[in-house]
Amino acid sequence: MGNKLSCSCAPLIRRAYRYEDSPWQSTGRRDGHLLRLWAEVFHVGGQGTVKWQQVSEDLVPVNITCIQDTPECVFHITAYNSQVDKILDVRLVQPGTRIGQASECFVYWKDPATGDTWGLNFTSPIDAKQFRECCLMEFGIGQHKSENEMQGKAKENQGTKKKCFALGFELDRCDL
């Protein structure tokens, strides 16, 4: 696993967020996601085999949306394949969900509600780090900013700073 993708093709564009300037949602688009990254999706069922099953045939866009931020942060993580079938539709609750990292590009977590384990094989270590930072609560409960606050902050900083703000912390690089 790791950065050796199991699909036979590389991303069309080196950035993990094809066709977009940034993986962070900062425009007035209506899809409402906080973060969109490209990855392969893997799954291990709660009972039975302990072998990773690849759910996606290729790289797919993975969308992370914060649907609740107090008293817990609840993230809705979705992914669709090229036939527009929903192949990933889970909620990740923080605090409470441990997010592991098997390699620099492979991130996984166990869904306490179902017992299923999900894994995402990202195209770069930077994307894996962005996913973990987005979904981890190392900076405390309730510090996630609302989508409107983030969009306002992004517009405020557009063109004036080399740093962007997302979820209440600064990213060192926005132009990845």
What digits encode the pLDDT tens for the residues 93-147? 999 899 999 999 999 999 988 889 999 999 999 999 999 999 985 444 334 444 4
Instruction: Please name the CATH architecture into which domain 35-136 falls.
Output: Roll (2.30)
pLDDT value at residue 15: 39
- Please determine, for residue 9, whether its predicted confidence score (pLDDT) is greater than 90: no
**93 with 73: CB under 8 angstroms?**
yes
pTM given for the model? 0.63
**108 with 100: CB under 8 angstroms?**
yes
What digits encode the pLDDT tens for the residues 158-171? 333 222 233 333 32
